[in-house]
Structure 1
Amino acid sequence: MSAPHTDVEQVEAANTAFYEAMERGDFEELSSLWLTPSDLGVDETYHDPADTGVISCVHPGWPVLTGRGEVLRSYALIMANTDYIQFFLTDVHVSVTGDTAVVTCTENILSGGPAPEAGEELGPLVGQLVVATNVFRRTPDGWKIWSHHASPVMAENDEEDSDDTPS
């Protein structure tokens, strides 16, 4: 496969790398995918990093997390407490304007554990349907995540779908 050439392809590749790092439990890779103030040319010794490029994350059911410390700690906790996770992304849409890109998608998540050894059955899994928005910024090293916001999709109630109007 050749290297991506357009901004949209590069953002798609960065988005895919984010989810693949989660699936592998690769914290170092995941950390490298998030924006830092230095990615924007900000010297943190002279500028408050909160003023430039502060990252944020909302996991389903969690409060807003801001700053690299809080965000990366949350991923370390998730990885430490999740034996197995796999993302099947659908409805992926990428929009790029200048040095900012927005990716919206549906995360069809299978998680649980433990991960199977060769020839073993997979343990019990839990499925979750989540919609996500990932915001990226262009840096000298490529596109990096600025913000991730994920929210669960509520199951439709069969009673709400019934037609209560008289014929």
Structure 2
Amino acid sequence: MSPTPTDVEQVELANTAFYEAVERGDFEELSTLWLEDEVSCVHPGWPVLTGRGEVLRSYALIMANTEYIQFFLTDVKVTVLADAAVVTCTENTLSGGPAEEAGELGPLVGQLIVATNVFRRTQEGWKLWSHHGSPVLAETDDEEDDETPA
């Protein structure tokens, strides 16, 4: 008999399921991971989206326009307090769209995004309440040179 997973482990599994559903383009699965009531989402560069319909429409749009996406999560930290949990992580994202020639994948683009995912405990398990992603601005060589003492 396997031990019962801790709350932290259950939240980690829910967080992983979220990213895997997006990677697979599995809208049905993604829909089951969000709360039924008031939710919110901020995609990098987007305004705040509120309400289940608006949030899920945004994922449908992203999935329809993204040929390939893969997340490598780093710096994952889970905090659970009663019936709420916060996951912070860095999304090392690799994505690409369709190429000009049919059947080929266009150039892959890498991006770093820091994310906060908030979950609530329900009778069906941990569900997403809010997702907020913000791009990490990379330093350029010029910026590094500006900080060098004269």
TM-score w.r.t. structure 2 length? 0.90
Alignment partner, residue 131 of structure 2: 148
TM superposition outliers: structure 1 runs of 4+ over 6 Å? none
Q: Is the contact made by 2:96 and 2:105 (CA closer than 8 Å) also made in structure 1? A: no
Query: 1:125-161, CA deviations, whole angstroms, 9 ceiling, x for partnerless residues?
Result: 1111100000000000000000000000001122332
Aligned length: 145
Q: Is the contact made by 1:4 and 1:10 (CA closer than 8 Å) also made in structure 2? A: no
TM-score w.r.t. structure 1 length? 0.81
| Paired residue secondary structure (2:45) | coil
| Paired residue secondary structure (2:15) | helix
- 1: CA distance between counterparts of 2:9 and 2:148? 47
Alignment partner, residue 82 of structure 2: 98
**RMSD value over aligned CA atoms?**
2.0
- 2: CA distance between counterparts of 1:103 and 1:121? 35
Structure with greater Cα Rg: 1
Over 3 Å counting, the alpha-carbon distance change for 1:5 and 1:84 in structure 2 is same
Query: 1:101-128, CA deviations, whole angstroms, 9 ceiling, x for partnerless residues?
Result: 00000001111145xxxxx986421111
User: Unpaired segments of 5 or more residues in structure 1?
Assistant: 38-53, 115-119
Alignment partner, residue 26 of structure 1: 26
| Equivalent AA in structure 2 for residue 26 of structure 1 | D
Alignment partner, residue 50 of structure 1: none
Give the fraction of aligned pairs with identical amino acids, expressed as a percent: 78
